[in-house]
Amino acid sequence: MKDLSNYRKSYDKSELVETSIPQDPINLFNKWFHETEDFGGVEEVNAMTVSTIGLDGFPKSRIVLLKNFNEDGFIFYTNYNSEKGKAITNNPNVCLSFFWPSLERQIIIKGTASKVASSISDNYFASRPDGSKLGAIVSPQSEVIPNRAFLEEKLKQLENQFQGKEIPRPNNWGGFLVKPFEVEFWQGRPNRLHDRIRYKMQNSIDWKIERLSS
């Protein structure tokens, strides 16, 4: 077994101080997102971990792609009948996390997920390549299947069926909006004395800003 006890690095690329942050965490998220994008070194800046509480009572985390964010929250798309979709329907409290090692930053978001309007899902689905559209229809996400050929054969059938035709969004596929009530920004610092700033929603309107010990 490999010994990982000596895996260490010094974090010294930036700092996070209260005097230079906005009052709204979405504005700071936007700033960090674009700084990471401009800096480079992260292949998919919008890749995030979504953690849910499954129907079996266990937490489960997986990587998905953030597709939009605004003052209302963070939007991603999935199969509503998937394990993830069923978990969110049963318990809408979720956690999102981003790790951007190129700038030694993490963001952890606690929030409540709800389905976006059908029109929003329709518009996003229409923007996808045909292969991705068909993949959303083909895959019974999270279900047990006999083999890969099962999916590939279904895909071929749908390619023939929809050749030259518009591909409709399936009703069981669409977006979730995660409305945040707590957002923590983590900036790596030397000697493991990292900067941690937490925004907590107060009275559904205002954000309380707190510094946490590293």
Report yes or no on 169 lying in a domain.
no
What residue type is assigned to position 171 of the chain? N
By three-state DSSP, how is residue 89 classified? helix
Residues designated as active site: 192
Report yes or no on 197 lying in a domain.
yes
Mean pLDDT for the chain overall: 95
Report yes or no on 152 lying in a domain.
no
**pLDDT tens digits, one per residue of 34-85:** 999 999 999 999 999 999 999 999 999 999 999 999 999 999 999 999 999 9
Which residues partner with 208 through β-bridges?
200
Phi, psi of 53 (to 5 degrees): -100, 115
Do residues 96 and 49 touch, judged by C-beta distance below 8 A? yes
Q: What is the mean pLDDT of residues 152-158?
A: 92
- How many Å apart are CA 161 and CA 166, to the nearest integer? 10
Question: Does the structure show a pLDDT above 80 at 8?
Answer: no
Q: What is the mean pLDDT of residues 25-39?
A: 97
User: For 51, how many CA atoms within 13 A lie in the half-sphere containing its CB?
Assistant: 11
Report yes or no on 154 lying in a domain.
no
**Token couple for 18:** 């209260």
- How many Å apart are CA 79 and CA 142, to the nearest integer? 9
Report yes or no on 150 lying in a domain.
no
pTM value is 0.93
Report yes or no on 101 lying in a domain.
yes
For tokens 């054969």, the residue is: 153
**pLDDT tens digits, one per residue of 167-209:** 999 999 999 999 999 999 999 999 999 999 999 999 888 999 9
CATH for 25 = 2.30.110.10
Q: What is the mean pLDDT of residues 84-95?
A: 98
- How many Å apart are CA 16 and CA 185, to the nearest integer? 8
- How many Å apart are CA 189 and CA 24, to the nearest integer? 23
Instruction: Show the domain range for 57.
Output: 18-119+176-212
Please state the domain count of the chain.
Answer: 1
For tokens 């209260």, the residue is: 18
Report yes or no on 129 lying in a domain.
no
Report yes or no on 143 lying in a domain.
no
